[in-house]
Chain A
Amino acid sequence: MVNAMEKIAVVGGGGGGIGRAVASRLCDDGFLPLLLDQNESAGTETLSVLAAKGRASKLWVADVSNRAQVREAFDNVVSNYGRIDLLVNLAGGTMYAHLIQDFPLSEWLAVIAVNLKGTFLCCQAAIPTMKRQSSGSMINTSSNYGITGGATRTAYAASKAGVIGFSKSLAHELAPHGIRVNTIAPGRTATARVMRNYTPESWAASEREIPMGRAGDPADIAEGVAFLASPASAYMTGQTLHVNGGMVLP
């Protein structure tokens, strides 16, 4: 099952719109993408996309904000595949949006738990293996909202801005071990999760607001991830790569 030429990638949120595109794109660069997602049917759908590309991948159904589940999944990856060359943390999303005065604490905490703590737990779980290898790359996911903020998105923006500060700290700590940590910040991207909040008309209008005249395709984000995962970015760490059609220019 383990092909010695294959590099091992773990894709958190690999069942999602962007996660599926990322997993699929990574195959082209010689990775075997392994999936971690709490949604079994979404993850299974990605498995069949990967199978069509000739990759026998696997799915771990786990909640990234649950330490025990994350540990179990990563232990399992390591015992089966022996290494982790790449970790891409994509699990998450806006989840809840309310004006501050109406935002229940429980929902605010849930957003932070998945987007921010989930990133922490998955990175932490991958580090011993990458240190042992003296190599590895981690890519965490922020958002245009992490830079600009957004009304009703105090929790999402806090979590996504937090990912950037977190990733920079990790970049400092892990650089001496040959491990790179970068952040991808997608702009508005055409995934089912996002598009269901729009009518066809409001979606088209929202695309016209973007300098390049269209929302991102998940494949656009996957190209950015593939770049950060590749030797082409060997000297980049602690950076945030914005793939957003010019929507936000930080």
Chain B
Amino acid sequence: MRRFEGRVAIVTGAGQGIGRALARGFATEGAALVVAELDAARARRVEQEIVQEAERAIGVPTDVSDEKAVTNTVETAIREFGRIDVLVNNAGIFPLSPIETMAEDEWDRVIATNLVGVFLCSRAVVPHMLTQGGGRIISLASGRAFEGAVHGAHYAASKSGIIGFTKSLALELAPHGITANVLCPGLTDTAQPRGHDLTDEEIYARGAKIPLGRIGQPDDLVGPALFLASDPARHITGQTVLVNGGSIMW
């Protein structure tokens, strides 16, 4: 039997990149997927990709920073699939601005999406996980949480914030068999690092300097995420797992 047969997973920001790979990874292992994604067309596309492989999925356009939208997505998950076993908080944005000229609304948007979104989605699934007597929450932070990010002070604030948040969540939920952990990708081959005038050549040159010799691929996160969500990882909570080819060893 597949590892997540009969289970239900919500992956936020699953319309492309790492989130899409994680959604497909969970589906391949038998989970029914809720593709919670801001961009409705992307949500629909990933839903279809999974359905075409004869797995169960539903795309639900969701802005993770919108309390009502998040409630709606979780209600949809329960209505369609009856339970929620795994939440992957993956949605994130990475604009860059030097601190001096960083606009207040850009700061607000990064914190709202990357940090408040993690709070809202976690808060919304917890009552269902409590009723079920267990569950898994995995949130994507970043190596930037440890090293800071030049021109990404808001991003680093949000990503290190996720780690502090997750430890508190883990402590609260441990008595109820719910674990909460953090995955930190390093440089990964998605749209995100390309948003800032980096050429492909520059990106792959950076990858070549990583100890394991290459940039990460979205699929590199799948094994670690499935592991943290799986039964064998039941005694792991409040932890931060770095998946980065050795670029930061913490």
6 contacts between A and B (CB under 8 A): A116-B161, A128-B100, A149-B171, A159-B161, A162-B164, A172-B150
Contact residues of B between 117 and 147, Cβ < 8 Å to A = 119-120, 122-123, 126-127, 130, 144-147
Known: A100-B172, A154-B119, A172-B150. A165 touches B165 (CB 8 A): no
Q: A181 CA to B123 CA in the complex, in Å?
A: 33
Interface-located stretch among B74-82, B151-159, B204-212: B151-159
Q: A125 CA to B82 CA in the complex, in Å?
A: 50
B54 part of interface (Cβ distance < 8 Å): no
Known: A116-B157, A117-B111. A170 touches B100 (CB 8 A): no
**Number of residues in B with C-beta < 8 Å to the partner?**
49
Q: A169 CA to B207 CA in the complex, in Å?
A: 21
Known: A101-B130, A116-B161, A154-B165. A169 touches B152 (CB 8 A): yes
Structural contact, B160 and A162, CB atoms closer than 8 A: yes
**Number of residues in A with C-beta < 8 Å to the partner?**
49
Structural contact, A158 and B159, CB atoms closer than 8 A: no
Structural contact, B168 and A153, CB atoms closer than 8 A: yes
Structural contact, B157 and A166, CB atoms closer than 8 A: yes
Q: In the complex, what residues of B have CB within 8 A of residue A67's CB? A: 104
Q: In the complex, what residues of B have CB within 8 A of residue A99's CB? A: 172
Structural contact, B157 and A169, CB atoms closer than 8 A: yes
Q: A147 CA to B238 CA in the complex, in Å?
A: 11
Q: Which residues of A does B touch, CB under 8 Å?
A: 67, 99-101, 103, 105, 108-109, 112, 116-117, 120-121, 123-124, 127-128, 131, 145-174, 238
In the complex, which residue of chain B has the Cβ closest to the Cβ of A166?
Answer: B157
- A146, A151, A158, A169: which contacts B153 (Cβ < 8 A)? A169
Number of A-B residue pairs with CB-CB distance less than 8 Å in the complex they form: 153
- B111, B130, B160, B166: which contacts A164 (Cβ < 8 A)? B160
Q: Is chain B's binding surface mostly helix, strand, loop or mixed?
A: helix
In the complex, which residue of chain B has the Cβ closest to the Cβ of A125?
Answer: B100
Interchain residue pairs A-B with the least CB separation, the first 4:
A149-B167, A161-B164, A165-B160, A168-B148
Give the distance to chain B from A138, nearest Cβ to Cβ, in Å. Answer: 11
- A101, A109, A160, A238: which contacts B148 (Cβ < 8 A)? A238
Structural contact, B161 and A105, CB atoms closer than 8 A: no
Structural contact, A169 and B158, CB atoms closer than 8 A: no
Given contacts A169-B99, A173-B98, 18 further A-B contacts (CB under 8 A): A100-B169, A101-B123, A112-B111, A127-B99, A128-B100, A145-B164, A147-B164, A152-B168, A153-B168, A154-B122, A157-B165, A162-B157, A162-B158, A165-B144, A165-B160, A166-B154, A167-B148, A171-B148
Structural contact, B238 and A168, CB atoms closer than 8 A: no
B18 part of interface (Cβ distance < 8 Å): no
- A105, A131, A149: which contacts B238 (Cβ < 8 A)? A149
Structural contact, A166 and B160, CB atoms closer than 8 A: yes
Q: In the complex, what residues of B have CB within 8 A of residue A158's CB? A: 115, 119, 161-162, 164-165, 168
Q: A9 CA to B98 CA in the complex, in Å?
A: 24
Q: In the complex, what residues of A have CB within 8 A of residue B145's CB? A: 165
Q: A117 CA to B111 CA in the complex, in Å?
A: 9
Q: A165 CA to B151 CA in the complex, in Å?
A: 12
Give the distance to chain B from A104, nearest Cβ to Cβ, in Å. Answer: 10
Give the distance to chain A from B111, nearest Cβ to Cβ, in Å. Answer: 6
In the complex, which residue of chain A has the Cβ closest to the Cβ of B149?
Answer: A169
Q: In the complex, what residues of A have CB within 8 A of residue B144's CB? A: 165, 169
Give the distance to chain B from A51, nearest Cβ to Cβ, in Å. Answer: 35
Q: A57 CA to B196 CA in the complex, in Å?
A: 45
